A and B are shown apart, each in its own frame.
Chain A
Amino acid sequence: MEMRQNKRRYGTALLAVGALLALGVYAALALTGVASASGREPNVVEVNVAARQWAWEPGVIEVNQGDLVRLNLMSLDVVHGFYLDGYGIDEALVAGQPVTIEFVADKPGRWMFRCSEVCGPFHPYMIGWLRVSPNWYARSSLIGVALLAAGTIGGFLLKVVKS
């Protein structure tokens, strides 16, 4: 009994270590871009983005890694700012004056763009999402979730079958 329990614990530990290793390798590949070499032609993605108290319209922008992104930004009410996490782009938006920014979406993942000029109470929550596929962070997480769940359930079933 004691032996069996020890075996099971080693099993759990191994599973955990294995999952972590797999994730580590995966993340390393993803971050160095090796895993993302896709050979697809980059597109030009142009989006009109309106800023108002306290949301972006559209709130979600989807592009692929490598795309040239052109955003035509315009504030509809007060002074806002467009700050893009991960890219460090920061642009002030005066009401009614269009501003165009261009950048290559070279960093995959989901990045928040947020208001960078204090514009009222909900200013800190004025957030939109830029999704640059492939989103390695989310994929790694989901793979981790699936591994953990499948691993444990598999372990449980094995245990039940054996007993």
Chain B
Amino acid sequence: MSTIFGVPAPALYGQILIGLINGSFYAMLSLGLAVIFGLLRIINFAHGAQYMLGAFAAYLLLSYAGIGYWLALVLAPLIVGAVAVVIERTMLSRLYGIDPLYGLLLTFGLALILEGAFRYWFGAAGQPYAAPAQLTGALNLGFMFMPIYRGWVVVASLVICLGTWLLIEKTRLGAYLRAATENATLVQAFGVNVPLLLTLTYGLGAALAALAGVLAAPIYQVSPLMGSNLIIIVFAVVVVGGMGSILGAIVTGYVLGVLEGLTKVFYPEASSIVIFVIMAIVLLVRPAGLFGREE
């Protein structure tokens, strides 16, 4: 059997793939966080809960309405986005312009309530959610066998990240969003309905988290705490990439996912902390993050 740096090649490829999958979720989630933070100046601690809600929406749609994976991929983000819009209108919008700490506390509280409620209803154990028939099985890549669903997640997340990036960088709506991130008052004085833009942005960020949740359901199972386990790492990713940097969030997500996978191969003991070590180093050397603008 061939080895690379003394490690069996299949094990290495396997961990890189797992790293890419995890990185896909880091990227999608930190992207939403970065967009929300950029415009709303709210650190959305409920992001993990919104990811969990997306997975549960898919699970419940299937168990109670017989609605399968593909439709859930559309419906779950819409449902969670709608919930987020209500949250923004009724609660978050009262906190704009004051200390960001309040937004963090509010969304943290919401996350605890949501996760507590789902744990009460469904228990802490994970519920299985099967991948759709079209995406089961494995593909022989020559150097390794790749489960088709995992390949799909990597491709789908790349498309989602690229699509969001294009929306922000290349469209009129994106130009409003970028401009309002710099100077919301002036954009509103030009006649753009900025309060609506804020609402839509929060809805979009939450919908992205929910979409990631649906993609995750067949891989990680559906459980009330699936989001809170992940969100801490995602916050570290955002810190490394730089708060508010869209491209930074995406690139950092994938890179840190793969680095974490590689650490599992070469020094497994450090694999669960490697991202935090990198975060600490970045905070020391470049506090605004790798892609953040120093202010």
Is the A/B pair a real complex?
A: no
Q: Give chain B's interface residues, CB within 8 Å of chain A.
A: none
